[in-house]
Amino acid sequence: MTNIDSFEEFSRGRCSYSCAMCSFTSSESLALFKHVKERHGMDTAVFAKLYPGYAVAKVKITCAECGAAVTFDPTKLSLHTFNKHKLTLKAYYNKHVTNGTSNNAS
């Protein structure tokens, strides 16, 4: 993992999502979909279909536990590490990122 100095930085991920209806941006897909639903009253599936380019930058990380390519988005990475490995994102970070065993994001 390059240029990650803290868990707080790691937990923000490296993706970027943008609302096509206004200037809202986020590094987390869940925050974008919550915004779309609350601010614009649009179903997230409809939004994703109408605006497929909402993922401005989609970065993948190789899971150090299983080798899977996982979107480097806080929600998606947290779901993967917990559902597949029973690790919180913080535990994954402590186990793999702080000791340098995690693979680079791409």
pLDDT in tens, the chain (106 residues): 445 778 988 988 899 999 999 999 999 999 999 999 999 999 999 999 999 999 999 999 999 999 999 999 999 999 999 999 999 999 999 999 886 655 555 5
Domain contains 79: no
Domain contains 37: yes
Domain contains 8: no
Domain contains 86: no
* pTM for the full predicted model: 0.77
Domain contains 81: no
| Nearest-angstrom CA–CA distance, 23 and 104 | 30
Residue numbers of the domain that contains 41: 15-57
pLDDT at 1: 44
H/E element, 16: strand 16-18
Domain contains 70: no
Number of domains in the chain: 1
pLDDT at 36: 97
What is the DSSP code string of 23-73? Answer: S-EES-HHHHHHHHHHHH---HHHHHHH-GGGEEE--EEE-TTT--EEE--
Domain contains 36: yes
